Every structure is written in structure tokens, then in C-alpha cells.
């Protein structure tokens, strides 16, 4: 079945791609680059979920032998999802949170001595 073969190959590519990204994540990737990877992975996820939907529907119509394929594709998709999560966590770590006012929670501009919103003195 050509359709299933294509999906299998696609899923394998995804698996390898995800591995590669995870490996590279060990090094310090720039945040913009990571964001780009995330957007690529998100597109892969959308495609995967669409494929899963199609396979699932075909199974519903009676193609029982699709179960294993659906399972595998779901696993691959889960892997992609986890990689997206890892990348997001890394971005989080690399981006220091801006200081906020202890009184009202307003984000403070760099080097501010007083909160621009409520005037509370900024303490280190």
C-alpha cells in the first residue's frame, strides 16, 4: 500500500529529525534557532495528526491491519511533542525573566529605581 509506505517513511524521517534536534540541543542553540525548530516540529505534528486521522478513519471503515501503523505514528508524534517541550524549556532557561514590581507585578524597565505603574521603590 503506497499510502502507508509513505506515512511510514515520513514517520521515520520525523524520528531521525527529532533525534538530531535533541542531540543538537545539548549544545547551546540560539533562541531564534530553537523557535524556528519548534515551528518546524509543530508543522510536522499537524501533518502527523492529519495522517493519524486518515489512518484511523480507514481503520474504522474496516482496514484492521492499520492498527500497528496508527500506534507507531502516534508514538512518533509523541516524540516530536516531547522535543517541542524540551526546546521550550531550554528557551525558558536562556531567557531571563524580567524583573517585576514587588507591589503590583508590573514589568520593570532595565535599571528602573521606581515602578512606572505604582511608584514603589525597586529593591534588589
Give whichever of 85 and 117 is closer to Zn ion, judged by the CB atom. Answer: 117
Q: Give contact residues for Zn ion (rule: CB under 5 A).
A: 101, 103-104, 106, 115, 117-118, 120
> Using N-to-C axis directions, what is the helix angle for 67-94 and 2-26, rounded to 10°?
20
In the complex with Zn ion, the residue whose CB is nearer, 90 or 120, is 120
Query: To the nearest whole angstrom, how small is the minimum distance from the Cβ of residue 117 to Zn ion?
Result: 4
Q: What is the DSSP string of 9-48?
A: HHHHHHHHHHHHHHHHHHS---HHHHHHHHHHHHHHHHHH
Nearest approach in angstroms of CB 92 to Zn ion is: 24
Amino acid at each position: 500500500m503506497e499510502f502507508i509506505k509513505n506515512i511510514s517513511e515520513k514517520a521515520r524521517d520525523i524520528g531521525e529529525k527529532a533525534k538530531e534536534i535533541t542531540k543538537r540541543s545539548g549544545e547551546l542553540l540560539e533562541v531564534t534557532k530553537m523557535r524556528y525548530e519548534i515551528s518546524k516540529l509543530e508543522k510536522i505534528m499537524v501533518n502527523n495528526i492529519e495522517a493519524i486521522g486518515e489512518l484511523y478513519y480507514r481503520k474504522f471503515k474496516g482496514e484492521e491491519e492499520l492498527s500497528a501503523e496508527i500506534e507507531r505514528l502516534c508514538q512518533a508524534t509523541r516524540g516530536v511533542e516531547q522535543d517541542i517541550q524540551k526546546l521550550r524549556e531550554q528557551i525558558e532557561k536562556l531567557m531571563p525573566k524580567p524583573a517585576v514590581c514587588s507591589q503590583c507585578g508590573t514589568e520593570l524597565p532595565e535599571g528602573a529605581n521606581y515602578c512606572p505603574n505604582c511608584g514603589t521603590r525597586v529593591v534588589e
